[in-house]
Amino acid sequence: MMECSAILDEYEKLIFKMNTPRVKIDNVGCPNATRVMIDSARNHGILLEAVEVLTDLNLSIKKAYISSDGRWFMDVFHVTDLDGNKVTDKSIINFIEQSLGAIQYVRSKKIEGLTALELTGTDRIGLLSEVSAVLSDLQCNVVEAKLWTHNGRIASLIHVNDCDSGSPIEDSLKIDLIEGRIRNLLKGDDDIRSARTSVSMGGTHTERRLHQMMFADRDYDRKPSISPCSSVPVVSIQNCLDHGYSVLNIQCKDRPKLLFDIVCTLTDMQYVVFHATIHTTADKASMEFFIRHVDGTPISSEAEKQRVILCLEAGIERRASEGVRLELCTSDRQGLLADVTRTFRENGLNVTRAEVSTTRNTALNVFYVTNASGNPADPSIIESVRQKISISDLKVKELPMIYHPKEDVDEPSPGLGGSMLLSLGSLLKRNLYYLGLVKSCPF
């Protein structure tokens, strides 16, 4: 029995070693980016985990080459910081290596000591202000929160604790009271069926959870809001029947976390990326994905194709930052979020996206605001709001830009808008070249 147990232990060690992703970080091979190379056993969702690690560090993915063969996948990501610099900080490099080396395991995203509230409903001006006021009135302190709006819908994940004790809210009667009052706000006059409020105990990544909430709310299937600032993504799908893939082409404006949002949408719709080429230049992103459903089949009908296109467009647009970016940095206090958002509401400003965080009793909040019609807010109103809140605490910031270096002459971009479908053999050869597995590639 002891020998059998020892053999099993050695077998488990071998399986662990075989399935542990191998990660290599190279700052020499590419002149203007850090190359992050991963090879690992292929599991559904592992690509999303890898992209999540990189984007959570605010790294910009300039290019990526994704290829899988049977049960194995090999990826190369060309990354920089948002200023266009290579990643040279040893602590960040070590973190990337350790995190990517463990991506085959489920990583908990639960924020300890806080209660998570999930909200979906019809967006309207002042809604965040009303929700914040209810939470403040019920002695709930907002520690972390994210809010997205899209196509007239709102989704928010709010982490709170008790104002007096600083502990998570666990009393069932109080939770029922919070849910009931917020649900009444979300219902409004005409949203009785689709308004949702719940307490989440799961540990899903916050931004992935927001995608899931809006997908479940079918924001992709609603009449899109019209904004003069919007940049509409171009998504097309063709079937490569000889090889059993659907080929997805996306052309859109580049921005932080774009690849995460796309891969997140595909993963949650139960599609697997087998091969892909991602390329950015100037402020544009061109992406080509060879995908199948998890059951191994390509997209089989025109209705399914149109649904995938709508969902991808929505996944790209949800994070689109419309409006003026306002950053608040001040000492945290009870009711701060309610007071700030009430001032926005009283001055006719609508919050289209928000990120709320608290670090060492300091509130670090970001708001994107427009006027009530979704158009750019009047600068004089913005200045008036700043004076009411505090000019020194509330600052107008430019939208974060992604630095794009000069084009690498030896790396061609994929076809535009799916107008020319690359053969699978050509794509594989090119990706193998960038993965370092062959020495030459006939472009």
Residue 363: pLDDT band (50, 70, 90) is: very high
Torsion of CA 113, 117, 118, 119, to 10 degrees: -150
Higher pLDDT, residue 430 or 209: 209
Three-class DSSP category at 351:
strand
Q: Is the pLDDT of residue 419 over 50?
A: no
pLDDT for the residue numbered 295: 93
pLDDT for the residue numbered 431: 53
Which of 122-126, 175-179, 395-399 is least confident?
Answer: 395-399
Q: Is the pLDDT of residue 401 over 70?
A: no
Higher pLDDT, residue 95 or 411: 95
**Class of residue 46 by CB neighbours under 10 A (exposed 0-12, middle 13-18, buried 19+):** buried
Three-class DSSP category at 98:
helix
Strand partners, 72: 41, 69
Token look-up 């105990």 returns 201
pLDDT for the residue numbered 181: 93
Determine what percent of the chain is predicted with pLDDT higher than 70: 80
Of 353, 354, 361, residue with least CA distance to 329: 361
Q: Is the pLDDT of residue 390 over 90?
A: yes
Instruction: Give the tens place of pLDDT for each residue, 262-275.
Output: 999 999 999 999 99
Of 325, 331, 320, residue with least CA distance to 358: 331
Residue 272 contacts residue 292 (beta carbons within 8 Å):
yes
Q: Is the pLDDT of residue 173 over 50?
A: yes
Domain residue spans of the chain: 22-107+233-308+413-434, 115-223+322-397
**Separation of alpha carbons 275 and 319, rounded Å:** 25
Higher pLDDT, residue 73 or 32: 32
Q: Is the pLDDT of residue 17 over 70?
A: no
Q: Is the pLDDT of residue 174 over 90?
A: yes
pLDDT for the residue numbered 414: 43
* For range 356-368, the mean pLDDT: 94
What contacts 25, CB < 8 A, 6 or more positions away?
34, 35, 36, 37, 87, 93, 96, 97
Q: Is the pLDDT of residue 104 over 90?
A: no
User: Measuring CA to CA, how many Å separate 346 from each of 73, 134, 371, 372?
Assistant: 53, 17, 11, 11
Residue 406: pLDDT band (50, 70, 90) is: low
Residue 325 contacts residue 377 (beta carbons within 8 Å):
no
35: alpha, beta or left? (left if phi > 0; alpha if psi -120 to 50)? beta
User: Measuring CA to CA, how many Å separate 323 from each of 370, 382, 435?
Assistant: 5, 11, 40
pLDDT for the residue numbered 44: 80
CA 245 to chain centre: 25
**Separation of alpha carbons 314 and 215, rounded Å:** 9
Neighbours of 441 (CB within 10 A): 13
DSSP H helical ranges for 127-257: 127-137, 172-187, 206-216
Three-class DSSP category at 59:
coil
Question: What DSSP assignment string belongs to 244-279?
Answer: TEEEEEEEEE--TTHHHHHHHHHHHTTEEEEEEEEE
Torsion of CA 323, 324, 329, 333, to 10 degrees: -50
Give me the CATH code for the 115-223+322-397 domain, please: 3.30.70.260
Of 10, 92, 100, 91, residue with least CA distance to 52: 100
Q: Is the pLDDT of residue 126 over 50?
A: yes
Residue 277: pLDDT band (50, 70, 90) is: very high
pLDDT for the residue numbered 187: 80
Structure tokens at 198: 């719940």
Higher pLDDT, residue 73 or 432: 73
**Separation of alpha carbons 394 and 404, rounded Å:** 29
Determine what percent of the chain is predicted with pLDDT higher than 90: 62
Q: E strands along 282-373, which residues?
A: 284-293, 324-331, 349-359, 362-371
User: Measuring CA to CA, how many Å separate 55 from each of 59, 260, 385?
Assistant: 5, 7, 32
Higher pLDDT, residue 84 or 104: 84
Residue 378 contacts residue 198 (beta carbons within 8 Å):
no
Q: Is the pLDDT of residue 410 over 90?
A: no
Torsion of CA 258, 261, 262, 263, to 10 degrees: 120
- What mean pLDDT value characterizes the chain? 84
Three-class DSSP category at 158:
strand
Residue 100 contacts residue 106 (beta carbons within 8 Å):
no
Instruction: Give the tens place of pLDDT for each residue, 285-317.
Output: 999 999 999 999 999 899 999 999 999 999 999
Q: Is the pLDDT of residue 5 over 60?
A: no
